[in-house]
Structure 1
Amino acid sequence: MRSPSRPLSPPDRTPAPVPALGTGIACGSLALMLLILVAVRWSPLMSLDRTVADALHRRAVTEPGLVHVNRILTDWVWDPWTMRVLIVVAVVGLWWRGARTLAGWVAATSLLATLLQQGLKAAVGRERPRWPDPVDSAHYAAFPSGHAMTAAVSCGLLLWLLRRHGAERRVWRAALVVAWVSVIGVGLTRLYLGVHWLTDVLGGWLLGVAVVAFSIAGFARYEGRGRGRLAASSLKRQGSGPC
């Protein structure tokens, strides 16, 4: 007799672990190189930072309206706590749907990124730009930019979750645009308001992408091991069945 057909499983939309791992290694290596150059205060890089900061500050002090818009964006729309709230919502949704391992993985990635960010700030201890006529203020050390890194991590994780769950093409494209605008936009606001150096923002972006990429690669490997154990267990049960 013909054996009953089994329902087709949904296509695996999980990003391949090799590209994710490669991205993580590349961005992590660039971030480490940038960190070293910032820590030793490499003169050409420091000059570039100062040139960009001076040019943007000269413009900011003449445009109070644009400064106000940037402060709203950086303090409310793209604030790190806003980004973390989005991650909390995603984690709660995953937990409620029964994807508790994935929910814990996402939460742990976000927490690890925050700890890494704060640890590097304390270790490097870089001073922020100082102005006689500041248009905004910020506290703690400068490198890496917490706004830039948190946006990169949060948007990267949310895009990954959408991809995994097979978001429609229109939804995916819209999410991709929003994510790019948010990550790049928040970095530009920090530079325009004169509270970060260019290399702070670049470091935040690179570290954020590296953390997300390593997280994706790690979860793919975890899932692969789980599928391997299930397959081995199934074969063992079949082999021990009646002849």
Structure 2
Amino acid sequence: MTERSTRTRRHPLGRLVAGRGGPDTRFGARLALGTAVTALAAVPFSLALVLVEAHWAPLYRFDQDVAERLHRSALGSPVRVRLLEVLTHVAWGPLTMRLLVAGVVVWLLRRRAYRLAAWAAVTATAGGLVGLLVKNVVERARPHLPDPVAHAPGYSFPSGHAMTATTSCAVLLLVLLPLVPRAWRPLPWVLAAVAVLGVGYTRVALGVHWVSDVVGGWLLGLAVVTATTLAFEAWRGDTGRPLTTPAEGLEPEIVTEDPEPASRPGGR
């Protein structure tokens, strides 16, 4: 038995849905399990939402204390404020993240990886729409600080920057990891973590979000990625492909699949 087959058979989702049932039974089991896992992934965000909506005093004091301390630090350093603005709007900004995802989608379409391209596009789009919907339902005001160093429109919870960074980095990681040599794979994870954590810090340091807004964006982004990824895994199972793990990427076969079979010797 190869290392690949052993790793696949040990996948917990694969063990739970495997059995003697027909395709409909196995798909039903995967659907039920995926729904349960998605609901579980949404629990942390739901808890954060409840605490925000209830105006829980310890959370309010924590948000206020962090915002005031970072604001005082920003007031004394215009250069630092400028750097934070470049990081939050350019390096890790939503436009940059969405352009990176769009580039990956185009590359996948050129390789004829249509379902993976659809997953990437749907994940990014769903993340943006869900975040906007929750913002307008919660209607939490942004921080009001004396002598603000930055301004942002709209409501505060959850942070759209934090959520976009989470969903976009997840898409980039799960699509591109198979292309990275195994010895180098920790590097993309580190870069993604720096981007996600870094953009969250910039939003709080600039005084346009509370800490709980940023955490809410991270948690909601993870819930969206979990839901779409489990749906993609259900498709893989129905087509007979082995289930994967985050360490392998969402579709490891993309490395070996030939996007232009007609160009091979002997092809049509």
Same fold (TM over 0.5): yes
**Cα deviation code 1:57-83 (max 9, x no counterpart):** 111111111111111000101111110
Q: Which has the larger radius of gyration?
A: 1
Distance (Å, rounded) in 2 between the aligned partners of 1:65 and 1:23: 45
Within 5 Å, give how 1:50-61 maps onto structure 2: 50-61=64-75
Deviation at 1:26, TM superposition (A): 4.1
Deviation at 1:16, TM superposition (A): 5.0
Deviation at 1:141, TM superposition (A): 0.3
Paired position in structure 2 for 1:119: 133
Distance (Å, rounded) in 1 between the aligned partners of 2:221 and 2:105: 19
8 Å CA contact 1:122–1:141 kept in 2: the answer is yes
Deviation at 1:171, TM superposition (A): 3.9
Paired position in structure 1 for 2:78: 64
Structure 1 counterpart of 2:201, from 188, 191, 205: 188
- Assess, with a 3 A threshold, how the Cα gap between structure 1 residues 220 and 156 changes in structure 2: closer, same or farther: same
8 Å CA contact 1:23–1:210 kept in 2: the answer is no
Paired position in structure 1 for 2:110: 96
How many percent identity over aligned positions?
A: 41
Paired position in structure 2 for 1:36: 50
Paired position in structure 2 for 1:219: 232
Within 5 Å, give how 1:38-187 maps onto structure 2: 38-163=52-177, 165-187=178-200
Distance (Å, rounded) in 1 between the aligned partners of 2:56 and 2:41: 20
Deviation at 1:43, TM superposition (A): 1.5
Paired position in structure 2 for 1:236: none
Write the letter of the residue equivalent to 2:111.
Answer: R
**Cα deviation code 1:82-131 (max 9, x no counterpart):** 10111101111111001001101110111111000000000000000012
Distance (Å, rounded) in 2 between the aligned partners of 1:139 and 1:209: 24
Distance (Å, rounded) in 1 between the aligned partners of 2:199 and 2:181: 27
- Assess, with a 3 A threshold, how the Cα gap between structure 1 residues 38 and 44 changes in structure 2: closer, same or farther: same
Deviation at 1:172, TM superposition (A): 1.9
Deviation at 1:173, TM superposition (A): 2.0
- Assess, with a 3 A threshold, how the Cα gap between structure 1 residues 170 and 24 changes in structure 2: closer, same or farther: farther
Deviation at 1:25, TM superposition (A): 4.1
Write the letter of the residue equivalent to 2:146.
Answer: P
**Cα deviation code 1:121-146 (max 9, x no counterpart):** 00000000012201111010000000
Deviation at 1:24, TM superposition (A): 4.4
Question: SS at the partner of 1:227?
Answer: coil
Distance (Å, rounded) in 2 between the aligned partners of 1:199 and 1:113: 18
Distance (Å, rounded) in 2 between the aligned partners of 1:91 and 1:145: 24
8 Å CA contact 1:60–1:135 kept in 2: the answer is yes
- Assess, with a 3 A threshold, how the Cα gap between structure 1 residues 16 and 188 changes in structure 2: closer, same or farther: farther
8 Å CA contact 1:17–1:221 kept in 2: the answer is no
Structure number with higher relative contact order (C-alpha < 8 Å, ≥ 6 residues apart): 1
Deviation at 1:18, TM superposition (A): 3.8
Deviation at 1:225, TM superposition (A): 1.2
Write the letter of the residue equivalent to 2:207.
Answer: G
Deviation at 1:27, TM superposition (A): 3.7
Question: Which blocks of at least 5 consecutive residues in structure 2 are unaligned?
Answer: 15-32, 242-268
TM-score (norm 2): 0.76
* Cα RMSD after superposing both structures: 2.6
Paired position in structure 2 for 1:6: none
**Cα deviation code 1:133-169 (max 9, x no counterpart):** 0111101000000010000100011111123x35212
